[in-house]
Amino acid sequence: MEAGGSGGSGEKQKQHNISQTVTTPTATPKKSRKRDSSSRGGGDVFSIESSGSRGKEENPKDGGGGGDESWQLFGDRFRDVQLMMDHNQILMEQVNENHRSRIADNMVKNVALIQEINENISKIRDLYSGLSSDVLTFCQHRAASGKDSGDKSG
């Protein structure tokens, strides 16, 4: 993508704009072919906030043990994911606004914004991976405690 200008000064300006927008970009941005003319529609896709609170409400059915801590951990992880997704939604709206403006400086800012979005997606993936591991451990402990206290199989 050509921003329109000389290569040397444009590169210096690019570094300046990126350092203002992102603290430590580590991910390489990937191009997306998705087009959306009405990106302001809302955040229905990211509504997982209730998952954490529902788990806490179901806790009394758990039967005790380390259940309270497990549900708290699940709720905390879901909350972290939700916050990260909400932040990404804001960043994506900014990217869309910058793209619509067709201003060269805004296009350069999009590189850093997309890098931050990708970095956040990696963090979300890690949170879900940890959550998956925690659910497996929780289920294994619960199954083991069920066998110890006597099963209904006869």
Q: Tens of pLDDT along 93-150?
A: 999 999 999 999 999 999 999 999 999 999 999 999 988 888 888 888 888 887 766 5
pLDDT: which is higher, 69 or 16:
69
Nearest to 83 by CA among 42, 111, 124: 124
Q: Which distant-in-sequence residues (6+ apart) come within 8 Å of 14 by Cβ? A: 3, 108, 111
pLDDT (mean) for 37-58: 37
pLDDT at 36: 40
What CA–CA distance (Å, rounded) separates 31 from 118? 11
Between helix 7-21 and helix 104-148 the angle, nearest 10°, is 40
The pTM (predicted TM-score) of the whole model is: 0.50
What CA–CA distance (Å, rounded) separates 52 from 70? 11
Answer for the pair 77, 127: CB distance below 8 angstroms, yes or no. yes
**Token reading at 105:** 């400086």
* Percent of the chain residues topping a pLDDT of 70: 52
Q: Choose the weakest-confidence range: 27-31, 73-77, 85-89.
A: 27-31
Using only the alpha carbons of the chain, give its radius of gyration.
Answer: 22
CB burial of 135-146 (b: ≥16 within 10 Å; e: otherwise) equals eeebeeebeeee
Confidence of residue 29 (pLDDT cuts 50, 70, 90): very low
pLDDT at 20: 38
pLDDT at 151: 53
Q: Which amino acid is at 52?
A: G
pLDDT at 111: 96
